[in-house]
Structure 1
Amino acid sequence: MEDGARTLSAAEVAALSSRQRRELLALIHVTNARDRGEEAGRMSLQDVLSADAATLSRRRRRALVVTVLATVLLIPWTFYLGIRLPEVHLSRGWDTTWVGFDILLTIFLGLTAFFAWRRRFLLVVSASGAGALLIADAWFDVTTAGRKDQMWSLLSALLIELPLAAFLLTISVMFTLRVGRAVLALRRAAIEALPPADSELGVVVDSPLPAEEDVS
């Protein structure tokens, strides 16, 4: 102990109100941040909660730049392919292409089932990937089918692949929104637990504490 300060005993902590305990925890968090030298001791609990938000903001800006640039470059490239590519093209490894594609789709569907069973957030990634692959599968099935297979490919796309893709993408979006709402609720609850300016905690901490035998 330094400068005549004393620590709170278990009985003294038990004597605090629930609000005072929450404020005490917030004060301890801020004190630990100061002891680690973070921002010269000026970091509050709200600053800690918003630290990840700053990192996410930087990543969001990078993702925005990359995706906008890729979109802009892909537009002229698509027009170029529309002009230069032949309507009919004989390709090697046709069977390997489709078998490999179906293996990849099977892996994503299996991962989606596994993450759903284990209740993992990675369900969002696998479900989104599987949904995108199913849409691509439907598109290439219809556009590359021969005359004899066109009707079957179209029915397969409309009745199986596209509905399943919509189901998986909906799961991904709904799960993301639900987790986002939960995180925001936890963040809001933590911020609300910050000591207010007129907190009673200052009276509890700064005032001389009663002796051990005086605390019931």
Structure 2
Amino acid sequence: MTPARTAPRDANPRGRRAARSAGDERESAILATAERLLAERSFAEISIDDLARGAGISRPTFYFYFPSKDAVLLTLLDRVTEEADAAAGDVLDRLAEDPRARWRELIGRFHETFGAHRAVVLACAQVRGTNAEVRRLWATVLERWVQAITTAVEAERRRGAAPAGLPARDLAIALNSMNERVWYATFAGDGPAVADADVVDVLLDVWLASIYRDTTAPPAAGTGQIVSPGDRYR
């Protein structure tokens, strides 16, 4: 769920012209308007005129910044995932300190970031089936997170903290996909859904049970409590 172990992101997020300054106030106004409107109505109901008006610019000026409203949504998605990646930081590199605490920290940071931008998350999920660009961008992001979790699970197995089992990549795909669906249901109120306050703990227990076959997770490295994976799960 974090790209800390993978290659750097592209310098320019998708859908934006490379020549502009990242701090351009008009671009920021367009993006802020889009996120505000997404909290009020569906993406299909938002027009370019709505975005231009909300940003205090003309329709022709809008096109200087974005070629389409789809490009606005792509940029919002890119920024949200970038924010989530930054929030995750190096958590996966510190799993041995306290596996349960670190996994909870990781899931919690993602939940907080996606929750703060739930209108964007929901809009992208809703249009993904018909919008190839959103689908491609999300697939790229999800692949990055899957690779990171795969690496983390394999590392936990190598150090004896997690038992051998299903291919780590398959496990990572299933866990990330589960998170995606659970968050969507919670944010959309699309029942049955886990209560927002309980999401992190529910997801954490499923992750721990899947990776360690035990919701308590192993002790922190260096505690002197040496138990083989085979003994722990009998």
State which structure, 1 or 2, has the greater radius of gyration over its C-alpha atoms. Answer: 1
Question: TM-score, normalised on structure 2?
Answer: 0.27
Question: TM-score, normalised on structure 1?
Answer: 0.28
**Bigger relative contact order, structure 1 or 2 (CA pairs below 8 A, ≥6 apart):** 1
